[in-house]
Amino acid sequence: MKLTESKAEMRGKILSVSGDDHFMNRITSIGITEGTAFQTVRNDRRMPLLIYLRETLISLNRADAERIEVEAV
């Protein structure tokens, strides 16, 4: 599923990240890489998505979150 489809409080794992070189450099520099465990903190429509991973709270715009495939664990 896409990260945008996750529910609040869901715990999961990043399966894949896709995008151009600029996006990949930016997203991996903040710690979003394949195999990383995360927890969705907030996922409200038309609002940035909040996730907690690597002891950091990260806000992602919805377009970026659409490029990230995850699975629930």
Q: pLDDT digit string (tens) for 18-30?
A: 999 999 999 999 9
> CA-to-CA distance for 14 and 72, rounded, in angstroms?
9
C-alpha separations of 47 from 16, 34, 36, 59, 60 in Å: 23, 24, 23, 10, 9
- Give the chain's domain count: 1
Q: Is the Cβ–Cβ distance between 65 and 49 less than 8 Å?
A: yes
Interatomic CA distance for residues 40 and 57, integer angstroms: 10
Query: Which tens digits make up the pLDDT trace of 23-73?
Result: 999 999 999 999 999 999 999 989 999 999 999 999 999 999 999 999 999
Question: What residue numbers bound the domain in which 14 lies?
Answer: 3-72
Which CATH number characterizes residue 31's domain? 2.30.30.90
Q: Do 9 and 40 form a contact (C-beta atoms < 8 A)?
A: yes
